C-alpha cells in the first residue's frame, strides 16, 4: 500500500464520524428545543386519579359554564373594590407572575375562606360541625353539600365549583413544572374564583331554599 493509499484510507475512516459530529453539533439546539417542547406538551396534560385533561381545556369548560353565551363578565370590574380585595389582588399578581400555579392555589384558598365565612354567618358551621368536629374546618365538599341541601346553591354554581376544584388539583400536581400553567391562565382562573366568592357574599338567609326545586 502506497502512502497515498494509506492516507486516503484514513480520511475515509474518519470522514463519516466527523460528518456525524458536525451534524449533531449543528442540530443540538433545535433537537433540544424539540425535546423540551414535547416535554411541555406532555406536562400540560396532568392526570389526577381517573381525570386527565389540560389545564387550559378544563378552564375553557369552566368559563363556558359561567358565561354560556361566550360574553365577557364585566360585573366584577364594575363593583366597588375593597381594600382587602386590593391587597389580595396585589399578592396574587406578585406571586402568579413568578409561579402561576401558586396563583391558582392562592385563589382557591380565598374561596375556601369565604365558604367557611358563609357557613359561619348562616349558623351552619356550628350546627353541622359541633363538638370534636369543630376542631377542624369542614372540607369544601362538605360545605357545598350542606349549602346545596338547604337550597342555597344553583346547579351552575356547583358545576363551576367542581371545575375549579379540578383545576386547583391540576395546579397542585403540576407544581414542579412552572410552564404547565401560564400567568394568563391563572388570571382567568382567579376571575372565576372571584365570581363564586361574589355569589357567596351576596347570599343571605332569605335566599334559603331558592334552588331546592331547580
The rounded distance, in Å, linking the Cα atoms of 189 and 191 is 5
Cβ neighbours around 21 below 10 Å, total: 10
pLDDT tens-digit series, residues 49-97: 444 468 888 899 999 988 765 555 555 455 545 556 667 788 889 999 9
Q: Is the CB of residue 186 less than 8 Å from the CB of residue 100?
A: yes
Domain boundaries, the chain: 1-46, 49-207
The rounded distance, in Å, linking the Cα atoms of 114 and 25 is 56
pLDDT tens-digit series, residues 91-134: 889 999 999 999 999 999 999 999 999 988 888 766 555 554 45
Amino acid at each position: 500500500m502506497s502512502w497515498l493509499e494509506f492516507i486516503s484510507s484514513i480520511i475515509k475512516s474518519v470522514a463519516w464520524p466527523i460528518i456525524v459530529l458536525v451534524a449533531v453539533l449543528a442540530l443540538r439546539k433545535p433537537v433540544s428545543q424539540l425535546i423540551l417542547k414535547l416535554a411541555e406538551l406532555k406536562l400540560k396534560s396532568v392526570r389526577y386519579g381517573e381525570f386527565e385533561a389540560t389545564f387550559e381545556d378544563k378552564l375553557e369548560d369552566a368559563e363556558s359554564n359561567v358565561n354560556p353565551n361566550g360574553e365577557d363578565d364585566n360585573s366584577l370590574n364594575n363593583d366597588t373594590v375593597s381594600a382587602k380585595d386590593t391587597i389580595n389582588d396585589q399578592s396574587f399578581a406578585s406571586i402568579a407572575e413568578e409561579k402561576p400555579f401558586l396563583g391558582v392555589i392562592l385563589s382557591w384558598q380565598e374561596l375556601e375562606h369565604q365558604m367557611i365565612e358563609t357557613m359561619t354567618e348562616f349558623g351552619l358551621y356550628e350546627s353541622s360541625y359541633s363538638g370534636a368536629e369543630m376542631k377542624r374546618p369542614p372540607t369544601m365538599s362538605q360545605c357545598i353539600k350542606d349549602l346545596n341541601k338547604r337550597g342555597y346553591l344553583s346547579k351552575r354554581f356547583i358545576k363551576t365549583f367542581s371545575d375549579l376544584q379540578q383545576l386547583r388539583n391540576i395546579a397542585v400536581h403540576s407544581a414542579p413544572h412552572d410552564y404547565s400553567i401560564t400567568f394568563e391562565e391563572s388570571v382567568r382562573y382567579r376571575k372565576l374564583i372571584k365570581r363564586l366568592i361574589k355569589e357567596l357574599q351576596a347570599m343571605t338567609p332569605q335566599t334559603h331554599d331558592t334552588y331546592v326545586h331547580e
